[in-house]
């Protein structure tokens, strides 16, 4: 019988428990889902994950289901319209970063590479071991997340620092964050 051992943050609400059980740490290879998680992690900076996850459906609707092709076409008026929406996190710099990241992903796709290939190549196409035991909180950043963030920035991604990269890597299963469950 498998017992789920959840970190403290995943025990704070039913929503966080569901996120932990169904999403967090599960390897993701779908480009749309990867872009959504990257965008949500960008929104999280300076906020808390519970708030971002609570607004996920509104953000999906506002950002065309995180479809990079459609987001890449967003105009300045579209950004202004998003900033007027009371249902999303309204941070102009983050919204612009997500739109510019969508444009970059479309360029990556035009060059014949998927976002999945791009991101997973940053970790050698393998799930990395957790840097800490399950009962300890993940560090805000590691050497690997720093390297991933530096490469993403060098390639043109915006608002992806070491902490955002670390959160993304854990969220999409690039780090084995559930390694000690029995």
pLDDT band at 3 (very low <50, low <70, confident <90, very high): low
Q: What is the pTM of this model?
A: 0.94
Range of the domain at 56: 8-176
Number of domains in the chain: 1
For 107-155, the pLDDT digits (tens) are 999 999 999 999 999 999 999 999 988 778 889 999 999 999 999 999 9
Say if 125 falls within a structural domain.
yes
pLDDT at residue 149, rounded to an integer: 98
Cα atoms found within 13 Å of the Cα of residue 12, Cβ hemisphere only: 10
Token readout for 42 is 């960008």
Range in 1-5, 85-89, 172-176 with the lowest mean pLDDT: 1-5
Say if 90 falls within a structural domain.
yes
pLDDT at residue 6, rounded to an integer: 82
CA 5 to chain centre: 23
Q: Give, rounded to a whole angstrom, the gap between the first and last alpha carbons of the chain.
A: 8
Q: CB–CB of 129/178 below 8 Å? A: no
**CATH code of residue 58:** 1.10.340.30
pLDDT band at 83 (very low <50, low <70, confident <90, very high): very high
Say if 182 falls within a structural domain.
no
pLDDT band at 180 (very low <50, low <70, confident <90, very high): very low
Question: Between 1 and 114, where is the model more confident?
Answer: 114
Say if 98 falls within a structural domain.
yes
Cβ neighbors of 75 (< 8 A, separation 6 or more) are: none
pLDDT band at 2 (very low <50, low <70, confident <90, very high): low
Say if 1 falls within a structural domain.
no
* Average pLDDT estimate for 66-80: 97
């Amino acid at each position: 019988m498998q017992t789920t051992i959840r970190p403290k943050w995943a025990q704070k609400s039913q929503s966080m428990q569901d996120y932990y059980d169904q999403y967090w740490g599960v390897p993701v290879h779908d480009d749309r889902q990867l872009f959504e998680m990257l965008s949500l992690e960008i929104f999280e900076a300076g906020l808390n994950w519970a708030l971002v996850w609570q607004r996920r459906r509104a953000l999906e609707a506002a950002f065309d289901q995180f479809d990079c092709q459609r987001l890449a076409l967003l105009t300045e008026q579209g950004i202004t319209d998003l900033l007027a929406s009371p249902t999303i996190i309204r941070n102009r710099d983050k919204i612009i970063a997500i739109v510019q990241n969508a444009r970059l992903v479309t360029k990556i796709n035009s060059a014949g590479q998927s976002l999945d290939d791009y991101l997973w190549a940053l970790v050698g196409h393998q799930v990395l071991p957790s840097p800490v035991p399950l009962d300890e909180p993940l560090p805000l950043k590691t050497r690997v997340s720093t390297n991933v963030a530096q490469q993403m920035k060098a390639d043109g991604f915006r608002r992806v620092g070491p902490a955002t990269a670390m959160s993304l890597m854990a969220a999409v299963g690039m780090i084995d964050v559930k390694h000690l469950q029995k």
